[in-house]
Structure 1
């Protein structure tokens, strides 16, 4: 549960997650969130007036400070991308960072009521905002997204998105549409993106993905028919790969990486 407006002693250690714009603020030479104290962060006291607690790791709280669009507090600070910080974090800090960014983004983007335009007020017993004029209440947005690893005999289907400029191939994924089940979304996305049919669909696992507020729901599936026909606006290339001839694939910290590794293990068991 996320706690708001935490008052925290100057010299008590914690995992401090500090955001500026869409990046993470760290002390120079650092590339990850480390244990530190309020004093060691070198931030003004005013920055600690609205602290969120999003998790606990190793019995230490994970606390969030949002600088918004303010300039960096000192030359001893630098910013690094959220993605790179997450890649340097273990699973527990990964989850804390994902939650921290989604909570921060929610509070930034819900300062005014979407129904009447009045200023929103924070609810102090849960992460929500409410309009004092029309009582419209908002909670953090979560966008479900399906992601699926597809197997055909001893091969796995991998695709390169049109935005993957680094040449990476991954599993297929797409957002769930209104009125659609997760399973329907998988079948639709696969057919729309590469023109094939799948069968034996089964749930694998899920992962919060803060780019910006997705919940990735992972599935495994088997090929059922059709010829690969990439949708040109979404897919630059897609093909079946042998387990020992894989292209550049996502790291294992991501659910895509987990899906690929699990599918390869199934192939090796055949």
Structure 2
């Protein structure tokens, strides 16, 4: 599952280090080598015109200092360098490096979108020792945005409920999921989302695990829940199909166990286990 590697230490201030990993985003895509997916070195960063002051500290991965910078989409790139969406690097880039890339992207996106105060429009300044932007004019502060989202696998005896979402690029059948609304607890969001999306009531919510999901700044919080009542009634704006799957039933295509928490959640509760 994509998660922060044990050998990673976050940093809030730049540091001198012999080994440096430069995570450079052009728009919402990571710059990598065309041939080997290598991160840009000093020569490429110089060719791109990125001053050292534009890099933001991310942390230490083993002995390497990781930092991030961003460029506007459409910036001309040196030969041999190409932009890649993070999702396309699943299985192609080392998992620990990809996890740090996800963290770096969230930091870069926060810095890009908070150069000016959201309250009065004045330029912001970075607060030393914190991941924080402050407006010197009105005092408004802004931390990196984190959007909590719940995920829940509903169980009915030996069966589990799997759904295919309309906006899914993979067309996998997976657990239900949705973002929390202002003022909601995670548990309230689960009850609301399950009823809204498939018309069911649930009970006995149990925490499974959580995962940072940098698309662009989600925190996935996964649960199981027991079926409490109702018949499947789809919100056709959100859900294309929803089915109960039990022992002996043909399993539809589900997320693989790997980088996403969804695959781990489903595999841990497969019918018959």
Common fold: TM-score over 0.5: yes
Q: Post-superposition shift, 1:39?
A: 4.1
Matched, 1:250 2:259: no
**Distance in 2, Cα, partners of 1:27 & 1:226:** 52
Which residue of 58, 65, 68 maps to 2:62?
A: 58
1:121-145, Cα deviation, whole Å (9 max, x unpaired)? 1222211111111111111111110
Q: TM-score, normalised by structure 1?
A: 0.87
What does residue range 107-256 of structure 1 map to in structure 2 within 5 Å? 107-242=111-246, 245-251=250-256, 252-256=258-262
Aligned Cα root-mean-square deviation (Å): 2.3
**Distance in 1, Cα, partners of 2:230 & 2:93:** 40
**Distance in 1, Cα, partners of 2:179 & 2:266:** 20
Q: Post-superposition shift, 1:165?
A: 4.5
Which runs of at least 4 in structure 1 moved beyond 6 Å after TM superposition? none
Count of residue correspondences: 262
What does residue range 79-118 of structure 1 map to in structure 2 within 5 Å? 79-118=83-122
Q: Post-superposition shift, 1:14?
A: 3.2
Q: Report the secondary structure of 1:132's partner residue.
A: coil
Matched, 1:18 2:17: no
Q: CA distance change for structure 1 residues 133 and 221 in 2, over 3 Å: closer, same or farther?
A: same
Q: Report the secondary structure of 2:79's partner residue.
A: coil
1:53-72, Cα deviation, whole Å (9 max, x unpaired)? 32333332322122233524
Deviates more, 1:70-79 or 1:109-118: 70-79
